[in-house]
Amino acid sequence: MLEAFTWYKQSTFQWKGEKLVVYIDSWGLTDDLPKADLLLITHAHGDHFVKEDIARVKTDKTVILAPHDVARELSGNVKPVKPGDRIEAAGVKIEAVPAYNIDPARLEAHPKANNWVGYVLQLGGNTYYHAGDTDHLPELDRIRTDVAFLPIGDGGYVMTVDEAAGMAKVLKPKFAVPMHYGFFPGVGVPADGERFKKAAAPIEVKVFKPVHPFANR
């Protein structure tokens, strides 16, 4: 269920099946990686959307899903999405879900009006939820997923460790995976992955080791 995933940095993941390669977000992608059949971008911030890194894995056949403000900056087979959209791309069923801040101290980081997204997608017979950058929103509690990738950046831009653990307990996935920590000052440290694992119990947590070394220790 998780063995097909690789974490590159921040919130960038690859899922590699026998005949399909999917990337979610693009920061940290390199020239030596398999080309993308499907690439999903959650929002416009530079630690998620990097055009140069998209170019490293993109081909003429790559399908790209992205919020409208990101899609306008891209060329090729690009499909703009907004929260609530359901789409099938590269044979994958995908739902774009809301991703924004509601904590008063974080409202300007990811405004609801931007229509940025997380994704729920079906891969290899399992359901995966990649939250993007978000707080724990009531409208997300309906999501049923086998795996939840949740940002834990210690509260500056996304949820704190404890807030993300609380969200995991509501969603009740088979596995929760922490992301979005350890790569910027003030946005979590590497030890936060294990902190999340303890806080989210009894939910089972998988703490990935990123391909790129943590920058914030």
- Structural domains in the chain, CATH included, are 5-199 (3.60.15.10)
Q: Which amino acid is at 168?
A: A
Tell me what pLDDT residue 171 has. 99
The residue-averaged pLDDT of 53-69 equals 98
3-class secondary structure, 138: helix
Tell me what pLDDT residue 216 has. 60
155 in Cβ contact with 131 (< 8 Å): no
The more confidently predicted of residues 34 and 155 is 34
Tell me what pLDDT residue 215 has. 83
> How far lies 41's CA from each of 110, 127, 199, 206, 215, in Å?
14, 18, 28, 23, 22
**Rounded Cα–Cα distance for residues 113 and 173 (Å):** 28
What confidence tier does 217 reach under pLDDT thresholds 50, 70, 90? low
26 in Cβ contact with 39 (< 8 Å): yes
Tell me what pLDDT residue 54 has. 98
Structure-token match 């939910």, residue found: 203
- Per the DSSP assignment, residues forming a β-bridge with 92 are 89
47 in Cβ contact with 66 (< 8 Å): no
Tell me what pLDDT residue 188 has. 87
